[in-house]
Structure 1
Amino acid sequence: MKTLKISLLALTFGLMSFNSGNTITDPFVKTAAISAVSWKSDMIEVGEIQQNQPKNIEFEFTNTGKTDIVITNVRPTCGCTVADYTKTPIKPGEKGKVNATFNAAVKGAFTKTITVTTNAEETPKSLTFKGTVI
């Protein structure tokens, strides 16, 4: 009887190894996807700007995918930057924008980041601008 149980157990494990894996999806394995958002530039050098005079910085992108892109969230890293963006869906082949208005109160070099989340990418995109306040 003990030999029969061991044989059935070995047969069960043996048959399990013939599973091709095509029917089971591993949630921890990610496939690399090509982004549908093509940014003109993700870093802009604004040069020297005047203290307490707002400076507008424009980041432009193109929808290179096959479906509409919607910007779901735009978040500047500090209170000195206000962001605005294209609110309507961006159709394939069309362009969208993220505008940042930076009002520098302190003189010196700066680097600021804006985080943009879309329905086309799992990871938010970081846009950076830098310069010097004089």
Structure 2
Amino acid sequence: MKKLIAIAIFIFAAVSVAQAQKVAKMEFKSETIDYGEIKKGSDGLRVFEVKNIGDAPLVIEDVKSSCGCTVPKKPDAPIMPGETGEIQVKYDTKRVGPIRKTVTVYSNSDEPVKALKIKGAVIDTDSEKTES
């Protein structure tokens, strides 16, 4: 009986170690979105593509922006190994001027916190016409 219990404990420990070694890993197609020069009021929606190159499901737990002018949206479902998901970012293009913001991703990845960047400039074409 003691042998049977010892074997069961050994098998449980081996399975637990094998499961613990599985990890999700994020790989971004690009870690920076460059809006370039965009017109005031234009579509500010962009997408970061993220691939799970690990061997466990990737769960994006939260996505935060460095300001209220940028609204990020995380994937609802886990990203399975080998699959690709999207993190949407919508910048408020009614704000004229340079764009330099950070979007922070929190996940169960081997790198649990990842900072992504958005940059560019919103230009007001209406004020340019009145100045000419």
* Matching residue of 1:75: 64
CA distance in 2, matches of 1:106, 1:117: 27
Q: 1:120 aligns with which of 97, 109, 119?
A: 109
Q: Tell me how far 1:90 sits from its aligned partner.
A: 0.7
- Does 1:62 pair with 2:24? no
Unmatched segments (≥5 aa) in structure 1:
1-33
**Partner Cα distance (2:95, 2:79) in 1:** 36
Letter in 2 for 1:86: P
TM-score, normalization: structure 2?
A: 0.70
Cα deviations by residue, 1:41-92 (Å, 9 ceiling, x for unpaired): 0012111112233411100011000100000010011111111121101110
Give a deviation string over 1:92-111, Cα, whole Å, max 9, x none: 00001110000133322221
Give the conservation status (yes or no) of the 8 Å contact 2:24–2:55.
Answer: no
CA 1:35–1:67 in structure 2 vs 1: closer, same or farther (change >3 Å)? closer
What TM-score comes out, normalization by structure 1 length?
0.69
Which residue in the other structure is 2:78 paired with?
89
Q: How does 1:1-134 map to 2 (within 5 A)?
A: 36-134=25-123
Structure 2 residue matching 1:87: 3-state secondary structure:
coil
Segment drifting more, 77-86 vs 47-56: 47-56
Structure 1 distance, partners of 2:88, 2:118, is 11
2:67 aligned partner, one-letter code: C
Structure 1 residue runs of 4 or more that deviate by more than 6 Å after TM superposition: none
**Identity %, equivalent residues:** 37
